[in-house]
């Protein structure tokens, strides 16, 4: 059964649970902001629904609630950091904020962090950058789960990445995707819907093309555009794993042996570095308008998320499966936080 919960209740329980799980006050604020932004974008999975998993990781000690982030190296607008096995949401927000700071002076910047964890989604970080007047970009490395063109061996990660740019009307342009045809989430959705997928999306465990999303999930996902997506994924691994001095390809994390330990890299460009901000935003909107005047009702990246966010902020509440709210409330009871009141 579905039930309505106000956004303020969602935000309140998220921050209270994170605090009870050990995050200090400042970190609670940062991570809650990321969760709320992701939830406003209406992805429906990499958002508030991840809180129980995060709480499991924090309370079991698998991920540190208050990591000591240390700068490794710096040169002009380049910086690299050790993430100390902190929350991906914390490490991701950290590098994006550093990148914004560095871009203010240098116009463009790159900040990389190793030894992090899953950062939920890219859109919260790049949205934050766009709101502050930057073209924001973030990319994450992970385990080699993707093939090369025509190869069934998994050789590289999928380079989940996102960017955003501010516009002067409607919503920012905002993009969040990986370089395989399908994320595991997308394959999972197809499985649940009982739908088949294009045969070029991936190979089954025997290395043959398949239209069965389950077979591809158990086999090898392929990069978009063959050698094109593959080449761009290699660039992703260079600017994350190599530049952060983190792990690359199948290299195990020292100590734990974990393969695929995330590094994130944020790049910011000061939108008003080369023209005033009004002109930049106007040109972004004009770009959208020019495309739409060629193709009526064309969907622009960021449009769906922007419309969804506007709608739920207006309504002030969201619908959830009651089971999920019960799960949050069980965590609240366990950690000594106030549960969500069911009216």
The footprint of its own copies on residues 84-143 (CB under 8 A) is: 105-110, 112, 135, 137
Residue 12 or 101: the one with the smaller Cβ distance to its own copies is 101
Do 4 and 318 touch, CB atoms closer than 8 A? yes
Residue with tokens 């709210």: 325
Residue 257, helix vs strand vs coil: coil
Binding mask 233-272 toward its own copies (x if CB under 8 A, else -) reads -xx-xxx-xxx-x--xxxx---------------x-xx--
- 27 vs 180 by CB, closer to its own copies: 180
Please list every residue from 154 through 193 that binds its own copies, using CB under 8 A.
154-156, 163, 165, 173, 175, 177-179, 181
Facing residues of 188 across strands? none
Q: Which residue stretch of 58-66, 113-121, 152-160, 204-212 sits at the interface with its own copies (rule: CB under 8 A)?
A: 152-160
Site for its own copies in 3-62 (CB under 8 A): none
Residue 183 has which token pair?
A: 């994320």
What are the E-state strand segments in the chain? 2-6, 70-75, 78-82, 108-114, 134-140, 161-165, 173-177, 202-203, 220-221, 264-270, 317-321
What is the footprint of its own copies within residues 297-336 (CB under 8 A)? 298-301
Decide if residue 205 touches its own copies (CB under 8 A): no
Give me the 64-83 binding string for its own copies, x by CB under 8 A, dash otherwise.
Answer: --------xxxxxxxxx---
Q: Which is nearer to its own copies, 19 or 142 (CB)?
A: 142
Q: What is the CA radius of gyration of the chain?
A: 20
Residues that bind its own copies (rule: CB under 8 A) add up to a total of 76
Closest approach of its own copies to the CB of residue 176, in Å: 9
Provide the CA 85 distance to its chain's centre, in angstroms: 17
Among candidates 136, 65, 52, 67, which has minimal Cα distance to 100? 136
């Amino acid at each position: 059964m579905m039930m309505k919960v106000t956004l303020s209740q969602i935000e309140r329980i998220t921050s209270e649970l994170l605090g009870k799980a050990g995050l200090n006050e400042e970190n609670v604020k940062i991570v809650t902001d990321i969760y709320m932004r992701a939830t406003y974008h209406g992805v429906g999975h990499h958002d508030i629904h991840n809180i129980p998993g995060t709480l499991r990781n924090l309370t079991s000690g698998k991920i540190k609630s208050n990591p000591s982030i240390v700068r490794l190296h710096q040169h002009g607008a380049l910086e690299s950091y050790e993430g100390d096995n902190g929350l991906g949401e914390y490490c991701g927000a950290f590098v994006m904020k550093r990148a914004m700071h560095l871009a203010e002076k240098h116009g463009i910047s790159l900040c990389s962090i190793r030894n992090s964890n899953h950062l939920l989604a890219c859109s919260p970080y790049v949205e934050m950058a766009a709101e502050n007047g930057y073209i924001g970009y973030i990319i994450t490395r992970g385990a080699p789960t993707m093939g090369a063109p025509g190869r069934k061996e998994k050789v590289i990660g999928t380079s989940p990445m996102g960017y955003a740019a501010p516009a002067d009307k409607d919503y920012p342009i905002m993009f969040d995707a990986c370089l395989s045809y399908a994320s595991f989430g997308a394959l999972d959705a197809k499985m649940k819907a009982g739908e088949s997928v294009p045969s070029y999306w991936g190979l089954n465990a025997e290395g043959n093309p398949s239209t069965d999303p389950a077979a591809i999930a158990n086999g090898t996902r392929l990069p978009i555009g063959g050698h094109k997506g593959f080449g761009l994924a290699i660039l992703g691994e260079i600017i994350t794993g190599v530049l952060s001095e983190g792990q690359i390809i199948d290299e195990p994390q020292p100590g734990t042996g974990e393969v695929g330990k995330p590094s994130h890299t944020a790049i910011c460009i000061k939108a008003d570095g080369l023209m005033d901000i009004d002109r930049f935003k106007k040109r972004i909107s004009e770009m959208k308008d020019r495309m739409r005047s060629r193709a009526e009702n064309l969907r622009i990246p960021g449009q769906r998320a922007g419309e969804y966010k506007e709608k739920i902020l207006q309504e002030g509440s969201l619908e959830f499966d009651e089971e999920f709210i019960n799960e949050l409330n069980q965590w609240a009871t366990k950690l000594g936080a106030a549960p969500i009141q069911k009216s």
